[in-house]
Structures are given as structure tokens and as C-alpha cells.
Chains A and B, each alone.
Chain A
Amino acid sequence: MTPRSLTRAGFRWTALALGFALFLPACHWGKRDLRKSVVKVYSTIQNVDFSEPWKPGTQVQLEGCGCVVPGGMVLTTSHLINKANYIELQKFGDAKRYVAKVAYTGYDFNLALLTVDDPEFKKTTIPVEYGKLPSPGDKVTIHGGEELSIKDDTLSGMDMVWSSETNRVAPTLLTNEDINPKIYGCPVFKDGKLIGIPFETWHKSEKKGSLIPINVIERFFRGIQTKPYVEFPDTGVTSQELENPSLHGYYKAGPDQTGVVVTKVLWNGSGDGFLKEGDVITAIDGHDIDNEGYINLPNHDRVNWEYQITFYLVGEKVKLEVVRAGQALKVEMPLKPLPKLVVYREDNRNPTWFMAGGLVFVPLTGNYMQMGNWQGFKPGLKDLFFHGFQAADRKEVVLLSHILPHDVNIGYSRLTDAIVTKVNGRKIGSMKDLVEAFNHPDNGHHVIEIDDHAWFGSTIALDAAKTPQATKDLMAQFQMTTDRSPDLK
């Protein structure tokens, strides 16, 4: 950064002086000009209006930044580009905007790689160098923001933190100071090398900033070699710490066999068929797990044992040591993603929906719940969001979202957000089940059974003979070209 660029921003002299103070050490490390690695990202986000999912919702402009990585692509956080229908990049000190496309996304990592077709773009950029995982107390600099500000910060540690973007815990580097949302996606350097990218999290202690650590970024790069969409694997079990000696003894683990106990094995998760409820997991990849569920990694803090899983690809095997009913076992477990029932669909610019006789059905997703008034959501749906997992007969929750009023559906109009259990006698475990069930009316009626006792009741019946015309009427009235989203055709 030069004084000229600061004055151009019209900053006061105090800001200028501060800029110098921050800038000098940054300059000291880098023989390379780090500014040439940083780009601004402008994206146009297409939101979804779930009250009329057939129409495009409002558009929002987002700004953030990213960095050029070896190979010339641009690395940024996926929240900047999820649902984007147009992305532009801008180099610092250059007015020109370059149109970019998404090449790879890892929603679970909150990372994305963008490409630019225009060969001009690469000419003056210099890719970042990857650093090593830093340690607590290390000084780092964050490059980015409105006019490529440079900010110093200090790392305070590494933890598994809940990410609001991905609805799950992820390895996170914590910084001492809060990070402005405008800086999400910007590169963070230590000694001139990339060590993390700021992103949004929940439930972190105090006001701290969160970074996606460099080893997670490396894991993302490893993942995209095989698949365009990269997801985290998960243990597929819930577990409990064994700090209390009596509880530790209950699971028949010896005094040296510390670890966590499996409290539930999720259907179709990694543990399904490999682990059992009551197993004490004592080590992962040779790292002993303590009774608080932590492992000690070389040159590193204590971290939660599930941290280790994050660095595997789906399909790779993890080595566990387990005490099952007093017997020590070794388990090699191939890894799968977490079988969550209510997921975020990060790319659903085109949401899944189906309308029949005015009844609008959608799958229950994190996106759907966030669009509405969270406080007003039925408690049962919130329980599913946090604690719901898939079962053999239930891959997703099908919701009767709301009803477009018509003669055919008179009397049901106050129904909203009801879970659909059966249609025409068929169990509904997915949107595809629902669409198929509507092809088989029951005795002249479409009978929709819902799970909504305290709120409305249990059954909806539509006259099957009148339903197609009602659907047509409503399509005309609500300017719908179709009665279902393209993925259900």
C-alpha cells in the first residue's frame, strides 16, 4: 500500500498515519507485492421468495474479496457466490471489472474457486504462497476491505466452531479482534504467506474473528481434484465425553482407555455398520482421545477429536481404536457425509416446489426456515432443523408451505408449514414421493395427511376431478408457467 492510495480514499490524516503504522511491517516481509494477489469480488445474489417460489426473489449485491492462487483461479468464501447469478472481479488499483464464473465450491468449507476467461486478468496478478498452520500468538495481517486496508491481528487459538453458513461445526482459527463482515473472503497472511480466510461463525467465545485455516483450504483443494462439489465427511455418530469416573467405568473402559462414548449411530452415516452405541472411541489415527474428547496434535493446541475427520475425503478410511464391552478393537471406517434431514441448499436459486390445487409444497431446508420469521416457526420444525437425521424411509421433510386460495381448497387457508406424512395412502419421504402420490387419487379424492395436531389437524382432501382445473386457474392467476420446479419434471 502506498500513501497515494490512501489519500485517494479521502481518509483523514489520522487514518493515513495509522495506515503507515500497519503497513510498514507488512511491507517488511514481502519482497512480493501482496496487493497483486488480492481482488475484490462483486456478486449479484438471486434470493428466493418462498411465498412464490416460481418467481425470482429480490436481488442483493454483495461485496467481498478473494485472492489469486497458484494456477490463476481466485479463492473466496462460498457465501459470497452462493446463489449468485453474476460475479465480477476487480484488481486493486485497476478500474476494470472482469466477469468471473464459479469453478468449484465446497459449501461445507465455505470456500469457492472462481475463474476468469479474459486473459488480461492474469497479467498483473501474482498468486499467493501457501503458509503453514500458524500457532496461537502468531501475528497475522488481513488484506482487504473497501480500499485494500491492511489490519494486524493476533491468533488466539484453534477450535471447532459452529458456522452459520454451513450449519455445522468446522475447524476455525480464532483471532483476537472482531472481523468486519466486509472482509469475509479476504486473504490473511503470516510472513507474507496465506494462512486463512475470514468467515462468519456463531457461538464463538467473546468478540473474536474467525478464519478458515490453511489446512482446511488445502483439504478443499485436495477434494476438488475428484469432485466439483466438495463436502466434509462426518463420523456419523453422536458422542458424549467421559469425564466422570463412574460413567467411564460404566462403559467398561480401563483407566488408560480414555475417550468419548458413542451415544447414537446415525442411519447411513459413517458409523453405520462400524460403530455401536456404547463404544468408547479411544484413539483416532493413533492420536489418543482424552475424556473431554480432545486430541493433542504435534506442534498444535488440543483440538476436538472430530477435527481429524475434516481432513479426509468422503470415501477415505479413518482408523479408530474402540473399546466395545471391555474389548479393545481397531476399526477402519470409510467416511460419509453427515446424513442431516434439514440441510442448507446453498445453490438453490431455483428452489424445489410443487403446487396442486393451490397447495404449495416445498422440502424443508435451512434456506426455507431462514427466509421466514424464525421466532414464528413451529417448535417441531426447529427441532428437526437441529436434531433431525435421515432414516431409510425419510430422506427429506416435505412441507405444505402455504395455500393459494381457490374454491377447491376452501377451509384450509389457515394451514401453513405442516409436515406431510402421507398422500393418497402413500408415505412421503421426499418431494419425488409426493409428486408420484398425486398421480394416484384415492376414491375420487387427493387425501393429504399432515402432522399438525395442535395447530390445525390431520387431513386435507381435495376433489381429484376438480384439482387439475384449479391448478390451471391458479397458475394463470399467479403467473406461473408450470406447476412444479424443473427438477421435479
Chain B
Amino acid sequence: MRSNTHSNFPRPAARAALVLALVAILFPPLRASAAGSDPLRKSLVKIFTTLQDPNYADPWRMDAQEEVSGSGCILPGHRILTNAHVVSNQIFIQVTKDGDPQKYTAKRVAVAHDCDLAILKVDDPRFFRGTLPVTFGGLPSQKDKITVYGYPVGGDELSTTEGVVSRVEVIPYSHSLCNLLGLQTDAAINPGNSGGPVFKRGRFVGVAFQGYSASAAQATGYLVPVLLVKRFLTEIQKGPYKPVPVLGLYTETLENGALRSSFGMKKTQSGVLVAKVTYGSSAYGKIQENDVMMSIDGFPIANDGSIPFRPGERLSFPYPLCLHEGGDPMKFRILRAGKPMTVTVTLKDDVRLVPLLQYDVKPTYFIFDGLIFTPLNVNYMQLKKSAQSFMSLYFDGLPTAERKQVVVMSHILSHEINKGYGAEYANLVVKTVNGHVITGMKDLIPAFQDPKDGRHVIEIDDGEGGGTRIALDAASSAKATQDILAQNSIPSDRSDDLK
């Protein structure tokens, strides 16, 4: 939730907009603290970011620059903590401390997109004069009173809002689409609040980061809990940040007694049923379809998929992953064909056929005779409305040994060589090129070096399983690609990662 510095009118936060867009239509009343007397103000930072998003429709170019603002706080060690989405795709960052109009140049030194956190540094030592780092508190409980600090829309000065912790739960993080532990609060959280600290009795307990638009739900804001902030800090102390690992399972609850008995479960046993295991994921080869997962990392799993947390609190079973990193072993008790056993899984990052939202990377593309090829990912699907046909691949598509990526022909830049392939030749899944099966972008380039009978033949899947082909005259190919690049001012026929 960043707000535009050029206007007092809020702009829908582009990043957070996928699921939980916070569109501040209302300007909630702000409660001003007694200025100067509040020591917590000395930890507050306002962040001004210039960013440039890549364009997934024309992957060789960047979109226009945008300016956004957010909030942050000072951590021990002269570091600034904010949300990843405040400083994603950044090209220039400036910060101000509370009560000082002087803008200092900042650098992003670490980022965790999965849990929406980032660390900034300021080289100028004067910036930290008179500031106080926050003091860390513990994970708050439901009904605990908290105060949100930040620079949301509605004015320029520091704003504070108060509320209670409404829920402690594993929730989807809009920035990454990952499911991680989050805190829900009724304190007003609006665009510009993003990255701002949340305190309980003066101690730092979370980072404000997302909410619903007023039309969807009211007084429903979310915080990244201090637990994930600590994990982030520990990770980056050790080396490059490792995201929260993912098991790679689809599971279903076992609340029905007949379902439990059909899987040979005793009355004393509980757990969730494994419906599908993703090829190449953490669980792959260790946990199987139709296994009952009875415990995770020592936590017993109930039939509704929850595990005990603190007294009176339950969380959904993937929560313990938040306490680990890729490479860690994790123990599971499972029931396979009625026999209990223990399996140890080595945790890995998420493996997906259609990757979730990505930041700070340029799109991968390859242009051949005007045909633009790109891997299918959520960034692409968000950008192109016509890419709706890929929704079932996104929801239900799993990688296999043969196919780890979906290669899409996005659209065609017109030229003599590709005449006859009209506007309907867009957003199509590529099956083969010159008879070579395309399992990922890396297969494309060698396949195009192998034309047969003087032509390149691309077989596409138009939703009815294939059979539709694009053929191109191989003799005119090289020149056509050069012409098309020149005509469309495209610097290269491929992205840097394919060079």
C-alpha cells in the first residue's frame, strides 16, 4: 500500500491489488499523538520510491516511471525496515525521518518478497542522528491493543491509528501470493501505511502491509508479525535471504468419519489427506498421494488441518514452515495404507508450473520471425486480460518431469513472413518447435536452429489439444527477425538471461 507522492488522491496500490486491493475511498479520522512527547516517533521513516515496472506484454521494454511513498522504521544497526512492495522494482529511494524534511538517499540492501519485507541503508550518518531504533516485542495475541504508525493518505504528517489484534492466522500475502502467518487488526490501515511499524505497549510487534478495499470489508487490515521479521533478519545475517519453504502438496481435510476409516485411520489418529504431490517439490518422492499426514515438525495435525499454537489458538498446518528455510529437514508422521511411519523431508522453495508474482527481474522472452515467446507466469496473466484462458493451468497445472514451464506465444509482430497468422494467434501454449517438444524457454532456441524441409514449424495448443501449426519460411527467417526488431525498435531478439 503505497501512495502517490504527487497527489493527495490515493491511487489503487498496484502491487497489493491482486487479491486484497486496498482502495482508500474514505479518509479515516487520524488520531494525532502529542507531538514530540512520543519516543516512538523517533523510529519512524517515510520512504519515497521511484520505480519502474517491466512490461510483460512488450517484454523488451519498461513501463513509465512511477513515484510512490510508504512507511518504515529504524532497526538496531542503522537499518530501515519496510515492506518489499514499497521498494520493489525500485530505481531510486529517498527517506525522511519524522519531523525532518531533509530527504536522504537510501539503498535497498535486502528483500524478502514472500513475506513482503525489505531492509534499506542510508550512507549519510547524519540521517540516524536523533533517531531511536525500535525495541522488539513478542508475537501479540488476539485482543491485544496495538498502535499503527505511518504516513498514509489523508495528510503529510505522521499518523497513528489504534486497534486490537483481531486474528492470528495463516493468510495469503498479496504481494507474493504466498500463504504465511499474519495478524489481522481493526486499526485503520490505508495506502501509505505500508511498511510502517506496529507497536504494543511501545514494543515493535509487526509491519502494516495490506487490507481490503472499503467495499469488500471494513476495519480489516493486516500486519506482518514480528516473528517473520526476526526470521528475515536472521536469514540475511547468514547470507542471501532464503524464502519460507513450501511443501508442494494439495491436501484435503478428514473431518468425515467414513473418509477416515476408508483410509484405515484409527479413532485416535487424525490428520489431512494428501491429494496431490507436486513433481520436484519438497514432498516429492517422500510423501505420496493418499498418505494421511498426521503430524508436521512435531505438531499433531487435527482432522480439519489445524495444529495447536498457543493455548486456545490454532493455526493451519503449514505454519511451521515459517520457522524453517530451504535445506532444513522436517519430520512428518504419516499413515500409508494403514501403516504409520515417519518420513523426513528436505525442505525446498516453491516449485510451480505457473510461477507466482515476481519482482526485480526482467521478463524472459525470445522473438523469432515476429513471434514473441515468453514463459507463463502470474505477472503475464495479470497484465494481459486475454490470458484468462490460462486460469486452469494456474490453478490446477502441475509441473512434470517433462514440463517444468509453460511456454506461451504471446502475440505476433506483423511481417511478410508471418502473414496469415492474425490476431487470434495470441496467448497460445507452444507444444513443439520443429518436432522438438518444448518443456521450457531453454528448449526454444536450439529447436529453432533445426528447421525441417526449409521451414520452421511451431505446433500450438489452442485449447483443443494441439494440431494447429504455424509454419515459417526458414530461408527468409534471419532477415525477417532483423527487420522486425528494427521496425519495432527492439534492442535484442531475446532477454539477457537467454544470451
Contacts and interface: CB of A to CB of B under 8 A. Distances in A.
3 closest A-B pairs by CB: A457-B252, A411-B255, A243-B420
Given A238-B464, A243-B420, A463-B257, A456 B262 contact: no
A459 B419 contact: no
A246 B472 contact: yes
Contact of A247 (B395, B463, B469): B469
Contact of B419 (A243, A387, A443, A456): A243
Given A246-B473, A247-B471, A453-B276, A460 B396 contact: no
A244 B420 contact: yes
Contacts of B417: 246
Contacts of B250: 453-454, 457-458
A458 B250 CA distance: 9
B29 interface: no
Interface string A438-458: 000011110100000111111
A238 B467 contact: yes
Interface stretch (A281-289, A343-351, A378-386): A378-386
A240 B256 CA distance: 50
Contacts of B394: 379
Contacts of A447: 262
Interface residues of A, number: 47
Interface in B128-179: none
A408 interface: yes
Interface in A358-391: 378-380, 382-383, 386-387, 389
26 contacts: A238-B468, A240-B469, A243-B421, A244-B420, A244-B421, A246-B473, A247-B420, A250-B455, A263-B467, A263-B469, A264-B467, A379-B395, A380-B392, A387-B464, A389-B464, A410-B257, A411-B303, A444-B261, A445-B262, A453-B398, A457-B252, A457-B253, A458-B275, A460-B256, A463-B257, A466-B258
A241 interface: yes
Given A238-B464, A244-B420, A459 B276 contact: no
Nearest to A456: B252
Nearest to B289: A458
Nearest to A463: B258
B401 to A, nearest CB: 18
B418 interface: yes
B456 to A, nearest CB: 8
A74 to B, nearest CB: 40
Contacts of B109: none
Contacts of A445: 258, 261-262
Contacts, number: 131
A245 interface: yes
Contact of A249 (B253, B261, B290, B455): B455
Interface in A376-419: 378-380, 382-383, 386-387, 389, 408-412
Interface residues of B, number: 48
Given A240-B468, A247-B470, A453-B276, A411 B259 contact: yes
A272 to B, nearest CB: 14
A412 B257 CA distance: 11
Quick one: which of B289, B396, B421 has the most chain A CB within 10 A? B396
A459 B255 CA distance: 12
A408 B394 CA distance: 33
A309 B257 CA distance: 56
Contacts of B396: 380, 453-454
B251 interface: yes
B252 A459 contact: yes
B214 interface: no
A410 to B, nearest CB: 5
Nearest to B259: A461
B457 interface: yes
Contacts of B290: 459
Interface in B67-107: none
A462 interface: yes
Given A249-B455, A411-B259, A454-B396, A244 B470 contact: yes
A262 B469 CA distance: 11
A410 B276 contact: no
B254 interface: yes
A208 B356 CA distance: 42
Contact of A454 (B395, B462, B465, B469): B395
A423 interface: no
A262 to B, nearest CB: 8
Contacts of A242: 420
A97 to B, nearest CB: 47
Interface in A324-359: none
B391 interface: yes
Candidate in A277, A445, A461 with the most chain B CB atoms within 10 angstroms: A461
Contact of B275 (A250, A264, A459): A459
Contact of A244 (B261, B419, B468): B419
B20 interface: no
Nearest to A243: B420
A264 B276 CA distance: 31
A238 B259 CA distance: 43
Interface string B324-360: 0000000000000000000000000000000000000
A443 B392 contact: no
Given A242-B420, A243-B419, A457 B468 contact: no
A134 to B, nearest CB: 30
A386 B419 contact: no
A471 interface: no
A459 B259 contact: yes
A291 interface: yes
B388 to A, nearest CB: 8
